[in-house]
């Protein structure tokens, strides 16, 4: 059976713990008992890709060429399709798409596709770069769904919190800050919240919110397993 499975290429390290969290979720969602039941992932865990926020906000090196090089390396090594466990990286997805002949699964499109049908306003917890690039909002507008973004003050707190998580702090204080940021979106009318940054599910989970929480990491992991096991 394993011969028919697809090999997953992972552009990782954006950030490091988010990549490990993604891999753990792929493993947990793969049916089977033995090592050999699992999915073959080629992971380029390359934390040296230039900062995506800085590039979007105008004062940093373009991460596109580094991402394209990773994609080519993964294709050469045998990947059948690519994923990136980083929402903000998708702002630069064209660099990856142009570099290789294998498909890139979009964490943005898959997360939007997983929204509940009856939801007409969605809260977005994502980096300032990701929100400025309008990737989630554009996808939501196409479906007539209103995007609710953090206030400027909350956005500053969110970015501090994301960088704290990247620095290794996933403790209860950080989790509570993230929960409050999500609750503020719910108070502003969000019927669901998208954790649209792969650092967020490291501290925030569904048990902490009364509205549906869409973890972009979990949704990408689920899609990855489904594609890898399909013939």
**Counting contacts by CB under 8 A, is residue 40 touching a copy of itself?**
yes
3-state SS of 134-192 is: CHHHHHHHHCCCEEECCCHHHHHHHHHHHHHHHCCCCCHHHHHHHHHHHHHHHHCCCCE
Please select the residue that binds a copy of itself; options are 51, 105, 183, 227, rule is CB under 8 A: 51
**Counting contacts by CB under 8 A, is residue 64 touching a copy of itself?**
no
**Counting contacts by CB under 8 A, is residue 23 touching a copy of itself?**
yes
Question: How many amino acids of this chain bind a copy of itself (CB under 8 A)?
Answer: 41
Q: Which of 192, 183, 187 is closest to 215 using CA atoms?
A: 192
Please select the residue that binds a copy of itself; options are 15, 129, 191, 201, rule is CB under 8 A: 15
Least separation, in Å, of the C-beta of 87 and a copy of itself? 14
- CB neighbourhood size of 159 (10 A): 16
Q: Name which of 47 and 103 has its Cβ closer to a copy of itself.
A: 47
Angle, helices 16-29/152-166, rounded to nearest 10 degrees: 80
**Counting contacts by CB under 8 A, is residue 159 touching a copy of itself?**
no
**Counting contacts by CB under 8 A, is residue 207 touching a copy of itself?**
no
Is 10 in contact with 89 (CB distance < 8 Å)? no
Residue span binding a copy of itself (CB under 8 A) among the ranges 7-15, 108-116, 202-210, 212-220? 7-15
3-state SS of 45-90 is: ECCCCCCHHHHHCCCCCCCHHHHHHHHHHHHHHCCCEEECCCCHHH
Distance between CA atoms of 47 and 53, rounded to whole angstroms? 14
Positions marked catalytic: 86, 197
Please select the residue that binds a copy of itself; options are 103, 168, 171, 189, rule is CB under 8 A: 168
**Counting contacts by CB under 8 A, is residue 35 touching a copy of itself?**
yes
Residues in contact with a copy of itself by CB under 8 A are 2, 12-17, 19-20, 23-24, 27-28, 32-51, 73, 76-78, 163, 166-168
């Amino acid at each position: 059976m394993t011969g028919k499975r697809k090999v997953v290429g992972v552009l990782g390290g954006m950030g490091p713990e988010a990549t490990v969290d993604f891999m753990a979720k792929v493993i947990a969602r793969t049916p089977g008992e033995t090592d050999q039941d699992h999915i073959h992932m080629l992971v380029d865990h390359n934390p040296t890709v230039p900062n995506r926020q800085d590039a979007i906000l105008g004062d940093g090196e373009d991460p596109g060429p580094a991402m394209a090089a990773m994609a080519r390396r993964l294709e050469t090594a045998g990947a059948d399709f690519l994923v990136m466990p980083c929402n903000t990286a998708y702002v630069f997805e064209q660099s990856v798409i142009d570099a290789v002949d294998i498909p890139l699964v979009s964490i943005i499109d898959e997360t939007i596709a997983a929204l509940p049908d009856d939801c007409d306003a969605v809260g977005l917890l994502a980096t300032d770069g990701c929100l400025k690039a309008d990737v989630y909002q554009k996808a939501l507008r196409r479906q007539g769904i209103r995007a609710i973004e953090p206030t400027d003050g909350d956005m500053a707190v969110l970015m501090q919190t994301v960088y704290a998580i990247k620095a290794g702090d996933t403790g209860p204080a950080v989790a509570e800050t993230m929960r409050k940021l999500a609750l503020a979106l719910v108070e502003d009318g969000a019927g669901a919240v998208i954790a649209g940054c792969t650092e967020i599910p490291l501290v925030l989970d569904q048990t902490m919110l009364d509205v549906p929480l869409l973890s972009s990491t979990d949704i990408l992991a689920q899609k990855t397993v489904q594609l890898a096991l399909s013939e």
